[in-house]
Structure 1
């Protein structure tokens, strides 16, 4: 058995390789359920016995500018994220810009058991929290044996 020696940090090398692969493939999604690289807002989706819980990470957005709709099983979140810095002009030269600003739209396909009449949304601490209720027929229930 031979000993391997890496002159640098192994995890650093793996990170570099991942960045190179991402740039090579232009940020294609890693799976069919993935969204495009850098999609805004980032979201987490989970479920409870009674609802589907969606958290959209949208710091710095005025909740009054958000538009949430459900149509044919598709939940859509759209709005505008203003830029906190002055626009590029004669006096401002940008060297890098990583923070997204402008119009955005994000769509999530809901499962068939989602009830579009039972939707609640609130904005807290930079997160848009959306709860979509489940239809009664899809909720777990105990069955007694006779």
Structure 2
């Protein structure tokens, strides 16, 4: 694919606009299905005892992150600041594909998620959220007498 570094390239500008329009219409993921092109990118999976969510957010200040769980909806919100030169400098930016600004992703958790047992840790730009499943929902063996 041909890509010019200069903003006068009509085809590059059309490509950028198409990507922005596509991102505007993408939906947030649930545990059962995912939309593409959201920030931060998410991996969601689980074990019999936990639900594991990984949010890939390099360059995000840990103080700007907010994780909430309410009525079965887990939300991850925050802000990634721009690393570009200030607009008043004479530096030119030809391509900027890195997301910057406020973001929010919302995930619907299954009914067996325990809202009292949620842990979140940020390491190397990866936010790992572990939600325990309720003990009452765990499979158990029933003794036959």
Q: TM-score, normalised by structure 1?
A: 0.74
1:37-58 Cα distance to aligned partner (Å, 9 max, x none): 4210001011112110100001
| Rounded Cα–Cα distance in structure 1 between residues aligned with 2:37 and 2:60 | 17
- Paired residue for 2:111? 112
Q: Which gives a bigger RCO, structure 1 or 2 (Cα 8 Å, sep 6+)?
A: 2
1:19-51 Cα distance to aligned partner (Å, 9 max, x none): x9xx69x6466x99232x421000101111211
Deviation (angstroms), 1:87 = 3.2
Structure 2 unaligned blocks of 5 or more:
1-14
Confirm whether residue 76 of structure 1 aligns to residue 86 of structure 2.
no
Deviation (angstroms), 1:139 = 1.0
1:79-128 Cα distance to aligned partner (Å, 9 max, x none): 11011221334513221111001101111111111011100001011100
Q: How many residues align?
A: 123
| Rounded Cα–Cα distance in structure 1 between residues aligned with 2:144 and 2:46 | 28
**Rg (Cα) greater in structure:** 1
- Paired residue for 1:57? 56
| Rounded Cα–Cα distance in structure 1 between residues aligned with 2:91 and 2:104 | 29
| Rounded Cα–Cα distance in structure 1 between residues aligned with 2:44 and 2:116 | 19
Q: TM-score, normalised by structure 2?
A: 0.74
Runs of 4+ in 1 over 2 A off after TM superposition: 26-29, 31-34, 87-90, 143-146
C-alpha distance 62-90 of structure 1, shift in aligned 2 (>3 A)? closer
CA contact (8 A) 1:55 1:130 kept: yes
CA contact (8 A) 1:88 1:94 kept: no
